[in-house]
Amino acid sequence: MTGSLAMHMANELLSMPVAAATLAAAAGVLAVSGLRARRSLDLEKLPLMGVLGAFVFAAQMINFALPGGLSGHLGGGVLLAILLGPAAAILTIASILIVQCLIFQDGGLLALGCNIINIGVLPALLGWGLYRLVLGPVARAPAWRQYVATWAACTVGVAGGAALVPLEARLSNVLLIPLGDFLAVMVGVHLAIGFVEGAITFAVVAYLRRARPQCLGLEGLDESRNGRVSRRAVAVTLLATAGLLAGVVSWFASAHPDGLEYSYLEHKYAGAEKVVRDAEPGSAVAAVTQWQERTAPLPDYSVRPGEASGSDAAGQSGEAQAEADGAWPNVDGWGSLAGLLGTVVTLGLLYGLSRILGRRRPVADQP
C-alpha cells in the first residue's frame, strides 16, 4: 500500500523535526496521564479500560458512508473521556493507536505522536471539557442534557483534533496548497464525522445510563425506574459487541476514503494537483515508511502478498480489494481474523496497564 496508511495520519504529512517534537510531546502527555489516572481513576472503572479499548479498536474498523463519496469512523476519544476521565482515555487511545501502527501499519510510525494528540489528547480534553460544561452537575443530570452534551462534545472534539493535521503539515513545510483551504476542508468534513460519532457515543451512553449508571457517575438515579446489570455483564456485552464488529460488521464497512484521505488525496483544490509533496527517495521519512512496510505483521489488516493462497488479489487489503472489485459486503476472512486479533491484543495490553495502575496506586488515594 502506498501513500496513505489505512485510517490515520501518514508519515508523508510530516517532516522529521515535527515528527520528533510531536512524539516527545505525546510521550510527555502520556506520562502525566499515567500519574493522574493512577491517583484519580475509580477502582471500579480500572478493569473497563481494557474492555472499552477493545470496543473502540473494533468500532474504528467500521467506516460509515457520508455524502460526497467519503466515509468516517469512530475516534473514541470523547467516549472514553466520558466513561473513564480524560487521563485514562488518553492512555487507552494511545494503546489502540500503538497496536494499529505497529501490527497493522495503520498510521505512520513517525506520525504516531500526531495521531495520539489529534485522535486522543485533544478530543479527550476538549470534548470532556465541553461535555462537563453542558452537562452541569453530574450526579442528577437529566437524560436530555446528557445526550446534548455528548453530541456537542463529539462534534467539537473530533473537528478540533482534525484541525491540527493541516497545522502539523504546514509546520512540516510539505503543503502545496494554502493552509486555509486544507483547514476548511478538514474541519468541514470532520464536523460531519463528529456528528455521526456523537450518535454512536449517544447510543453507548444511553445503554450505560439504563444498564449501569455508575459508569457515568449517576449513582443518584432512581433505581426503581431503571434496569441495573452488573459490571461483569456490561463488560461481557461490550466485548461481545467488539467481537461482532471486528469479525462480521467490518465486512459492511464503507470502501470510500475516510475524512483525512479524502481531504488530502481525493478532494480537488483549485490550481493544485497534489496537496502535499512526496518524500524524497532516500530521505529519513521514506526510509522509516519502508521499514514500517517491511516489519508490520499484518499490514492494512491483511496478509502480505504471497502469504495467502488464492487469486492475484490475495495480498490486497480488504478495503483495497473491495474498491478494486466493487464487492460489498466485503466478506474478508483475513480481515476478520486481523480485527479479532487486534481486539484481543488491545484488551490484553490495557488489562495489563490497568493492573499496573491499580497495584501502584497509593492506598490513601483509593476511594
Residue 265 included in any domain: yes
Residue 304 included in any domain: no
Chain centroid to CA 201: how far? 13
The four Cα atoms 166, 171, 172, 174 give a dihedral, to 10 degrees, of 50
pLDDT in tens, the chain (367 residues): 333 335 689 999 999 999 999 999 999 999 999 999 988 888 778 889 999 999 999 999 999 999 999 999 999 999 999 999 999 999 999 999 999 999 999 999 999 999 999 999 999 999 999 999 999 887 677 889 999 999 999 999 999 999 999 999 999 999 999 999 999 999 999 999 999 999 999 999 999 988 888 888 776 555 545 557 888 899 999 999 999 999 999 999 999 999 999 999 899 998 888 898 888 887 899 999 999 999 999 998 988 766 655 444 433 444 444 444 457 788 888 899 999 999 999 999 999 999 998 875 554 444 4
- Between CA 107 and CA 6 the distance in angstroms is 7
Which residue reads 510521550 in cell numbers? 27
Residue 310 included in any domain: no
Looking at the DSSP bridge assignments, the partners of residue 65 are 71
CATH of residue 84's domain is: 1.10.1760.20
Residue 144 included in any domain: yes
- Between CA 250 and CA 162 the distance in angstroms is 24
| Domain with 209 in it | 11-299+327-365
Decide: 336 and 257 in contact? Cβ < 8 Å.
no
Residue 361 included in any domain: yes
Residue 314 included in any domain: no
Number of domains in the chain: 1
Residue 281 included in any domain: yes
pLDDT of residue 22: 98
Q: Which of 81, 236, 247, 108 is nearest to 172 (CA)?
A: 108
Residue 195 included in any domain: yes
Q: Which residues contact 27 (CB under 8 A, 6 or more apart)?
A: 113
Give the distance between the most distant pair of CA atoms in the chain. 67
DSSP 5-27: BTTB--GGG--HHHHHHHHHHHH
pLDDT of residue 192: 97
Its pTM stands at 0.89
